[in-house]
Structures are given as C-alpha cells and as structure tokens.
Structure 1
Amino acid sequence: MHICYVADARSPIAKNWISYLVTRNHQVTVISSYPCALDEIPGARIIQFPIALSSLCALRPNPSSSQADARFRNRILSELRGGKLLAASQQLRTWIAPIDIRRKTRALSAVIDDLRPDVVHAMRLPFEGFIAAASVKNFPLLLSVWGNDFTLFANRSRRLAALTQSALQRADGLHCDCNRDLNLALIRGFRPTKPWRVLPGNGGIHSFFFHAGPDAELLRQFRIPNDAPLVINPRGFRSYVHNESFFRAIPLVLRRIPGAVFLATGMLGHPTAERWIRRTNIAASVRLLPTVSREQLASLFATARVSVSLSSHDGTPNTLLEAMAAGCLPVVGNIDSLREWIVDGENGLMCDPRDPEAIAARIVRALGDSDLRSRANAKNRSLVRTRAEYRKVMENAERFYEEVLNNSRGTREFQPTGCHDCADAELTMRQTL
C-alpha cells in the first residue's frame, strides 16, 4: 500500500506512527507541513511543503551575528511560542493560515495526483487536515484529530469552525485519540457509517523504554538529587497547559514538603518560566530542563514520584501514557478526555488546572501517599499494556487503513471526472477559505 501523509515530519508523534508503516514495507511518502531534513523519517520519502507560516521555523541566525543578537532572537521566539507574545502570534496565524492554505491548495493537489497514493492521511486538523480536505480529490482521505483540534482550535473563530466541519464531511475515515473527540466529530459532521478508530495519537507506548530504572549520570547532568521527592512537569510550553498555575503551586507544596524538587522539561532558558521562578523565589527547588529524548524522559519518569499535566484542552497526551507506563503517579486536569484513563483517587489525581491551591494539595497527597502510588502503578501499567501497547495499536491502525481503502472502493470510484462528493467538499472548502 502507498500511504501519503500530510504531517509535520519533525513531530515525535508523527514519527512514531509513520515509522511502523515503513517497517511493514508499505510505500510511505510524507508531505511535511514544516521544513525538515529529507531523512527525518528513515525509509520514507519526504517532500517539504510548508503551510500556515511554518516556513518561519526554518529561520536560522546569521553566522556573523553576535551572541547578543542570537540571544535576542531566541528570546523573541520563546515569547512567541509560550510567553507574552503567544496570544498575538496565535491570532495572527489563525487569520493568515486559511489564506495561505487557499493559495497552496492547487499545488498540493498536483503533488498528490502525481504521487497517486492508495490513501492520504492528514495528521491533525489545523492545518494539515484543512488543506488536505481541500486538495485531495481523487483518493481516499483519512484524518487524525489530535487532542485540542475541536475543543480549542475549532472554537477560535467561525472560519476555523467551518473548515473543521468541511474537513470532517470530506473525510473517508477518522482517527481520534479519545472517545470525546469521536463524539464531537459526529456532532460536527463526520458520518458514523464511515470507518473510524480511537487509538493513541502517537501509535502507542514502547513499554520496554519505561521499565528501566533511574539513570545516575543523567541525574548528575541535570543536578537532580536522587533521594529527593521529585515532581516532573513534562509538557513544555503550550497555550492550553497552565504552567503558571504549576509554578504558583510550588511554594505551597514546599511549605509542606521542603525537600521536594520540581523538574520542567522543554523550559530551559525560557524567559517566561524564569520570570515565574524569580517571582515565587523557588529557584533552589526547580530544574528547568531542555527538551529531552524519549529514553531520557523514561528515566526521569522512573525517578520521579509524580507527573503533573495541567491542561484544559487535551486528548490523550503521550506523556500521560508514558508516565503511567513508568509507574509515575499522574496529577492531571479534570477534563473529559483524561477521565477516560484516570479515576480520581485510584490511579491518579485530578484537579482544576487553573487553581494553584488545588494543584498543590494533589501534589502533596501524591508525594505522601505511598500506598496510592503503589496501587496506581500496578493499574496504570496494566492499562497501558491493554490499551496503548505500541505493536497492538499499530496492528489495529494497519487494519484501519485497509478498512478505509476497501470502504472507499466499495462506495465510489476516485476519478477526477466522477468524484461528486469530492467536488462538493472542495467547493465547500473553497467557499470557507
């Protein structure tokens, strides 16, 4: 089978999923929505096709520029991605992205027609799914919905809501990472008679990575004491993760457990995180870490007692499943999608992700209740083995591609002159754009 992905080829989620299909000897082409290396996914053909301002990610500092200039540039980028300029940058992209998609639809359609894949798979709705729905006329289209595509992005504007509905109506198959999003997709226009799956977005968890113990050298590298009660925030900066609440909760925890140490991955050098630490005077108890590898994160989860994920918009976060697989007790935002995995007080603790006092109370309980951590450890490892083990998930996904392909063959022929549903969907998308 020739599978053509429209995806960010740099994404660990996309890589984990796509790599399995490569190992199964399918022909795989990735039309990358972000600039990337041509060998980003070994065994797959990469075609770069930046959309929605993603080409800005390819900007590199001038080698002749000073260190001060480079620091200033990095600071601005940090503020755009998770600081004071985040809201403005998101509004700008929300406005410009549909215009860019409309401008590039014909070009993407020509690329896909030349490839002649058996199926096209767009991984997430904004903005890969939007442009794929407008561009793919002659082949079956499968869409993946990621955790905040509906609850956050689709509600930002009427235009994004209309694009979401049009993409779902065009789709020949749908993959969601939680049941909540399947229900929302049906409300927004996806037909229940078409094939669908609810599977972890990244294809599942390689459990063997998360059975290893702490890495003493890694702890020394990051100046992490191996005997302290550790709490890890693995989410980095995202607009829907309430990191300010996390940092404001830390002093409240330290009043009860003075020796606790807090790790925050993907925040090293981030000016916003540094401001929060200065304001709360907690520098001695916090380690801002760089973005870490999967193996390093597994080791940190194995070392920490508690993993904190304070999101108000989410599906099934990969870091949640990884923490569960490693035996690290989750403290998470109390939202529908996470209740599909966590029962409060049984295998994790839930709280209002915007309330520092509630967050602190859950962290204190999690650090002090060894019986809860032990019970949750056993249950969570079993859940991951049953519902999120990588090979099981991807075998199911491979069958799903066959189902989408066979269902499409049985309902219509994908020919440029006879695809009435595709033509209607394209017209709707163009009117929306």
Structure 2
Amino acid sequence: MTKPKVCITTIEFPPDVGGVGESVHRIAQMLIKSGYEVHVAVFRSKQRFASDGSCRRARCKTTQQGDVFVHRIRSAVRQPEPEIQDFFGDVYFYLKRLHQQYRFDLFHAFFLNETGYVTTLLSKEHGLPVINSIRGSDLHKNIFSPKFHAQTAWTLDNSDWTTFVSQDLLRRGAAISPSVLLKSSVFLNSIAPIEFDHLTPPALVSQLSGIVIGSSGRFRDKKGIEFLLDACAELSTEIELTLLLIGDFVEKEKSYWEQEIQQSKLVDGSETSGRLRITGIVSREEALAYLPHLDIYAIPSLHDGCPNALLEAMLAGCAIVGTNVDAIGEILADGTAGLVVEPGDSQQLAAAIRQLAVQPELRQRLGAGARQKVLQQLSPNIEQANWLQTYQRVLQPEQIPQFNGMSVV
C-alpha cells in the first residue's frame, strides 16, 4: 500500500531554534509512525535578505533528517532589498516543483502569515486539501498589520481545516472568518516525558540564591518580561530572590530590554550582578537542566499560543505562575497546576509569586499537580490521535459523520 504523502510548510525546523519548529518536528514523527511519508518545506521571509549584501540565486536544498524529507527554500537576492512578492514568487515556484516531483496528497501549513497563503493558493490550484495550523502571533500580532489582513482572511476562508492551540485563537479566527467555526479543531500541544536527573547541572546554578524565580524562551514583546522585572523588583525588598531568565532577548528588541533591565533595580551596574541572571542562548538540554533548580516558574505572557516552555516547566514539577491568556490560562485555570493572574498586571504577578515564595507546601502541591496534569492530559498519544483524526477529515471526509458547528478534539 502506498503511503500518503504530506508536505508540511513551516518557518523553522530543527536545528532552527523555536517553538514552531519543535512542534513541526514532533508532529512529523507522529505522522511517520502512523504510516505517512512526510516532507517539510522550510522558508521565512526575513531570509530573503543577504546579510553581507551579496546577490544569490533562488534554490531549494533537499536533505533527509531521519525519515523526514526536508526542503529548505531560499529566495533569490537580485536587489539590495528584495520585495516580499518576489520572495513568495520564488517559494511558490519551488513548492510547485516539489509537488510535481513527489505528488503530495495533502499540504499542511504552520504559521499563517509566512506559509499559509502561498501553501493554500498552491493547494487550491491543484485541487488538493490543505490544513492551516494557527500557532499564536500569526493571529494575535500580525493581524494588526494591514498588509496581512486580506491574506489572512482569504487563507482562513479557503482552508479545508484549521487547527488552533487555544480557544482565544479560535475566537480571533472566527471573528475574521466565521466559516472557521464549521471546519476547525482546538487541541493543545503535547510533550514527551523528560529524564531531568540525567541532565548535566548547568553553569549558573552556583550563582542562584534565595527563592529562585525563572522564565525561559526567546524573550520578546509578547512575553511580558517587563512585568516580571517589576514584580521581582518589588518583592526583592522583602524576600531574598534571584530572577533567572533562561534564554535571551531577540536581537531587534535588545536596546529596549537593556533599558528595562537597567531601570528594574535588579542589577548593580550590569545584568551579571545583583538579583538578575540571564543565561544567554543555550541548548534545549541546558535550558531544561535549569528547571529543577527553580522554586517558581513564571510565564507572564501577553499572548502565547500553547508554549512548549510551559509544558517543560510542568514536567519538571515547577510551581507555576502564568497569565490568563491562550492555552496558559486554559491549562492552569482550575488551580491544580499553578496560579493564574491577568496579563500586564505587575501587582497581581507580585502577589502570586509572594504567595508561593512564603508557602513551600503550596509550591510542592502545585508542582506535583502540574507534573501529573501534563503527563495525563498533554501526552503525545492524545495529540497524535487528534492529528490523525484531523488528517482523516481532509483526506477521507466521506468517512467522517456529518456535523454542525465546531469540532473540538
């Protein structure tokens, strides 16, 4: 029996660093185990520029990473600042060539603005089904750019099925394209168990003192770190603490965050002294190795989809404070796995951290609850079943019972 062939389009894929890439890699492995032939086409509009100012031809480089065929598409650089339409024209050309070579049965786009439009256009022109998966910023942030709005609405209208990682994202999608309610699913990311005891103790552990409050990721506007800085600065006058940021700030926002850090009263002249520690970019293994050394894990996001960082902290048994946004609020809402505060509120955040800092028994109970919840409700087996059902809906719709309204699996 011939394996069905799927082409996943994405803005990143390992070894690229990022949550979208991690999710695509995880889902690709699930599909392969379920009998699919998986191709991943990787492209991103910011890569249309050449850092050294040189020119280049467009190209598509194909490699195999395990059982996954990975096609990395680079657009041509024919002028100092290539136009976005030239980028998409090159991407479309190579996606079409890949389809002519491999004859895909299904296209699946991750991250709507960068990949969804060109993938959906190609699919519709060739009479193929297409799934679009909304991850977070594609609807929470990029939708406020006028140049994205028409593309986003058209893509949602013409997607055969759309998946969301939170109810918040579904509501935003339905506001733009009401038809989404008839052809969509909402389900959370998953994570496989991690053996934290086998990880090498990381470099900065010896510099952590008092109550250790941590957060991890690529820190940028949506992460709400300025409110965490404010909360920890307030608490540092009454509690001995260390704020550990596992990761670094995105390059384009560096000057903003340097200013915020210097004004936070958590450092004494530089970010390497005082009550703040920043690891800089580290491997995923090193980032994970810090988690068991935290007393409290804070995720003060303003919007964030379903972040892998939260699931990792839950696996490590951290006591968590998170904001009531997207999947963070949905996962923590019942109070068994953490405390929930409103986004952008430093006072609420400080109060929740203070509550955990002075109650070790509460930290232990919530940490155990977080670990139990992620193992039982956010396991790869559950996510795999959801994806297989989604693929069956678009590849074999005649076998799915007719229904009215949104499908939430």
TM-score, length-scaled by structure 2: 0.78
Q: Distance in 1 between matches of 2:245 and 2:63?
A: 30
Offset of residue 40 of structure 1: 7.4
Cα contact 1:15–1:41 (8 A) shared by 2 = no
Aligned residue number for residue 201 of structure 2: 218
Provide, for residues 167-191 of structure 1, a one-character-per-residue CA deviation record: whole Å limited to 9, x for no partner: 1111111111112222333332263
Aligned residue number for residue 67 of structure 1: none
Asked if 1:396 corresponds to 2:396, the answer is: no
Aligned residue number for residue 42 of structure 2: 32
Aligned residue number for residue 150 of structure 1: 139
Cα contact 2:324–2:330 (8 A) shared by 1 = no
Asked if 1:15 corresponds to 2:25, the answer is: yes
Q: Distance in 2 between matches of 1:190 and 1:19?
A: 32
Q: 2:297 aligns with which of 301, 307, 311?
A: 307
Percent of residue pairs identical? 20
Aligned residue number for residue 166 of structure 2: 178
Q: 1:229 to 1:108 in 2, by over 3 A?
A: same
Asked if 1:131 corresponds to 2:155, the answer is: no
Counterpart AA for 2:132: L
Asked if 1:319 corresponds to 2:301, the answer is: no
Tell me the SS of whatever aligns to 2:244.
Answer: strand
Q: Distance in 1 between matches of 2:258 and 2:398?
A: 52
Tell me the SS of whatever aligns to 1:311.
Answer: coil
Q: Which runs of 5+ in 1 are unaligned?
A: 56-91, 411-433
Aligned residue number for residue 363 of structure 2: 373
Aligned residue number for residue 47 of structure 1: 71
Aligned residue number for residue 164 of structure 1: 152
Counterpart AA for 1:49: I
In terms of fraction of residues, the more strand-rich structure is 2
Offset of residue 264 of structure 1: 0.8
Aligned residue pairs, count: 362
Q: Distance in 2 between matches of 1:120 and 1:247?
A: 42
Offset of residue 262 of structure 1: 1.6
Aligned residue number for residue 405 of structure 2: none
Tell me the SS of whatever aligns to 2:298.
Answer: strand
Provide, for residues 276-314 of structure 1, a one-character-per-residue CA deviation record: whole Å limited to 9, x for no partner: 444425223222113334433333222212111121122
Q: 1:285 to 1:37 in 2, by over 3 A?
A: farther
Offset of residue 152 of structure 1: 1.6
Asked if 1:205 corresponds to 2:215, the answer is: no
Q: Distance in 2 between matches of 1:385 and 1:245?
A: 30
Tell me the SS of whatever aligns to 1:266.
Answer: strand
Cα contact 2:248–2:280 (8 A) shared by 1 = yes
Aligned residue number for residue 364 of structure 1: 354
Asked if 1:266 corresponds to 2:247, the answer is: yes
Offset of residue 223 of structure 1: 4.1
Q: 1:271-286 alignment to 2 at 5 Å?
A: 271-272=254-255, 273-279=257-263, 280-282=265-267, 283-286=273-276
Asked if 1:5 corresponds to 2:8, the answer is: yes
Q: 1:393 to 1:269 in 2, by over 3 A?
A: closer
Q: 1:195 to 1:340 in 2, by over 3 A?
A: same
Counterpart AA for 2:383: V
Q: Distance in 2 between matches of 1:239 and 1:130?
A: 25
* Structure number with higher relative contact order (C-alpha < 8 Å, ≥ 6 residues apart): 1
Tell me the SS of whatever aligns to 1:246.
Answer: helix
Offset of residue 141 of structure 1: 0.4
Q: 1:329 to 1:281 in 2, by over 3 A?
A: closer
Cα contact 2:109–2:119 (8 A) shared by 1 = yes
Asked if 1:297 corresponds to 2:287, the answer is: yes
Q: 1:294 to 1:200 in 2, by over 3 A?
A: farther
Q: 1:299 to 1:395 in 2, by over 3 A?
A: same
Q: Distance in 1 between matches of 2:250 and 2:87?
A: 32
Cα contact 2:291–2:318 (8 A) shared by 1 = yes
Q: 1:48 to 1:191 in 2, by over 3 A?
A: same
Q: Distance in 2 between matches of 1:407 and 1:399?
A: 10
Offset of residue 353 of structure 1: 3.6
Q: Which runs of 5+ in 2 are unaligned?
A: 48-59, 268-272, 401-409
Cα contact 1:122–1:142 (8 A) shared by 2 = yes
Cα contact 1:268–1:289 (8 A) shared by 2 = no
Cα contact 1:19–1:41 (8 A) shared by 2 = no
Across the aligned residues of Structure 1 and Structure 2, the Cα RMSD in angstroms comes to 3.2
Q: Distance in 2 between matches of 1:19 and 1:342?
A: 28
Q: 1:39 to 1:239 in 2, by over 3 A?
A: farther
TM-score, length-scaled by structure 1: 0.74
